[in-house]
Structure 1
Amino acid sequence: MSPLLSVIVPVRNEAHVLPALLDDLAALRLAGAELIVVDGGSDDASCALASARADLVLESPAGRARQMNAGAAVARGDYLWFVHADTRISAGAVQRLLDALQARPLWGRFDVRLSGRGLALRLIGTMISLRSRLTGVASGDQGIFVAREAFRALNGYADIDLMEDLELSRRLKQLVRPVCLRPPLETSSRRWEERGVWRTVVLMWRLRLAYYCGASPSRLAREYHRGSRP
């Protein structure tokens, strides 16, 4: 019998954050969910950490879209839940997802909050969630979940270097707007704190606008990584 849910976690050198996520997902796995970790060429302990606590650990060419597609290709669950390695998931969020899936939605995502302290980070998390509710477009940090058959019918994530989450959201939204769930998932604020909070806001909005105007995701990925240097 196929599980209701397959959780797919793309990783690359995530040993410093992966154990906490695996702890968060342990009860869900015991309840019957399938956990698939897809490694994109780690040279740390990511694979070793995952091998004892996941149903399947795969190797894939690096790239979040490629890794998530590789996991989805072998997933058995009726629903696919794509979760970033630096995410923290409360027991309440897990239960809310399981409850929501009983209604058989096509797809959805969670609200999000940033892990760090301070009003600016709290405001940014709130604005990300609000923007998503207004536009019907989700980011990968929001834990996108989607019916497996719908995902495969759309040929999964586009094989692009950045903005794969927005691109998939736009295609799914043409079918139906997402289910929006609370309580929020928590995502690491490390990149915001290392690069500077408002500098990162400006960078992300500039890249997003360029993408909507037709810029190449490969070029945007290079700019993103240049901009990520503190």
Structure 2
Amino acid sequence: MPCFAALVPAVSTGVLRDVVVADGGSHDDTVAVSDAAGCTIIADPAARDLGVRLRRAAAEARADWLLFLRPDIVLEDGWGAAVEAFAAAAGRRGSVAAAAAAFRYAVDADGALPRLAEWQASVARVVRGRVRPEQGLLVHRRLYDAVGRHPDGAMADHRLLSRLGRKVGLLRSRAFVQHGG
């Protein structure tokens, strides 16, 4: 779980209250590492449906703000400050029930093709108003519930982002895709 190391500072500063891992039968050390780190684990190999797992994880979370991340994403150092600033601004504006954000898409590789992928993600954001699931999703529980949570199915994260559309703003921090994604 490459994203795990980036979460540790946010737990120690209080940005993250708890981490819920929704494992659908991984064959690596995800469950063991998550358990050792004190995470809440939803490990149900029979629950292959991504939407079901993500809804269960959201239900287990104790905080009002939910952060959904794919396990192969690594957040940029300092991402916690960007999340705190976004949540605080939404609170000041009284718009937490309409607040969602994603990280900026970045590819952790050198060369022209990774930069092209980043550019394509930026253009898609402007033209279609959508972000990629690889960018993560920070959403207030009230908005998550209002749009109907994650739907059933393998493309649950894509479909939730589609429902949210242009309501998803961009944070100042990046989410790195590890393998040229």
Which TM class, normalised by the smaller chain length?
0.7 to 0.9
Supply the distance in 2 between the matched residues of 1:103 and 1:91 (Cα, whole angstroms): 21
1:180-204 CA deviation, whole Å, 9 max, x = no partner? 12232101225x5xxxxxxxxxxxx
**Which residue of 175, 182, 188 maps to 2:178?**
188
Unpaired runs of 5+ residues, structure 1, are 1-17, 193-230
Normalising by structure 2, report the TM-score.
0.84
Tell me: CA distance 1:170–1:45, structure 2 relative to 1, closer, same or farther (3 Å): closer
Supply the distance in 1 between the matched residues of 2:38 and 2:76 (Cα, whole angstroms): 18
Shift of 1:147: 0.7
Normalising by structure 1, report the TM-score.
0.68
Q: Superposition pairs for residues 19-34 of structure 1, below 5 Å?
A: 20-32=2-14, 33=16, 34=18
**What SS is found at the alignment partner of 2:167?**
coil
**Which residue of 61, 64, 76 maps to 1:78?**
64
**What SS is found at the alignment partner of 2:19?**
strand
Question: 1:102 corresponds to which letter in structure 2?
Answer: A
Shift of 1:123: 1.2
Supply the distance in 2 between the matched residues of 1:87 and 1:133 (Cα, whole angstroms): 22
Shift of 1:158: 1.0
Unpaired runs of 5+ residues, structure 2, are 91-95
User: Please, what is the CA RMSD of the aligned residues?
Assistant: 1.8
Partner residue, 1:210? none
Q: Percent identity?
A: 22
Off by >3 Å, runs of 4+ in structure 1: none
How many residue pairs were aligned? 170
1:122-176 CA deviation, whole Å, 9 max, x = no partner? 11122113312432212210111111122123331110222x2332123223xx6
Supply the distance in 2 between the matched residues of 1:154 and 1:35 (Cα, whole angstroms): 23
1:142 aligns with 2:135: yes
